[in-house]
């Protein structure tokens, strides 16, 4: 299992288009991937799950991956968030 905390800095948080990019990136990996906010954990490959967390600008989340490509998965998602989802 590989985990990393990151703070979402883009203006709209993880809603609609950024969430779609996030899920598409998560689905490139074989590992199980989850997003945790406070005490809630959802599947990072589920649009409804990710949107249900209500992640806004300034929210710190934990990315958790478990599987053969867990480290690469978390690093790719962190990079996507740090680059403001390519926007």
Could you tell me the domains of the chain? 2-86 (3.30.1340.10)
Give me the pLDDT at residue 51, please: 96
Instruction: Give the pLDDT band (50/70/90) at residue 26.
Output: very high
Catalytically active residues are 15
Average pLDDT for 50-57: 95
Instruction: Give the pLDDT band (50/70/90) at residue 14.
Output: confident
Indicate the pTM of the whole model: 0.94
Give me the pLDDT at residue 85, please: 87
Burial class (CB in 10 A: 0-12, 13-18, 19+), 16: exposed
Contact 30/20 with Cβ under 8 angstroms?
A: no
């Amino acid at each position: 299992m590989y985990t990393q905390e990151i703070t979402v800095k883009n203006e709209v948080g993880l809603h609609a288009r950024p969430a779609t990019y996030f899920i598409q990136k998560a689905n490139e990996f074989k590992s199980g991937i989850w997003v945790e906010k406070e005490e809630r954990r959802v599947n990072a490959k589920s649009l409804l799950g990710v949107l249900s967390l209500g992640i806004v600008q300034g929210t710190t989340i934990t990315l958790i991956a478990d599987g053969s490509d867990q480290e690469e998965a978390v690093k790719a998602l962190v990079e996507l968030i740090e680059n403001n989802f390519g926007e």
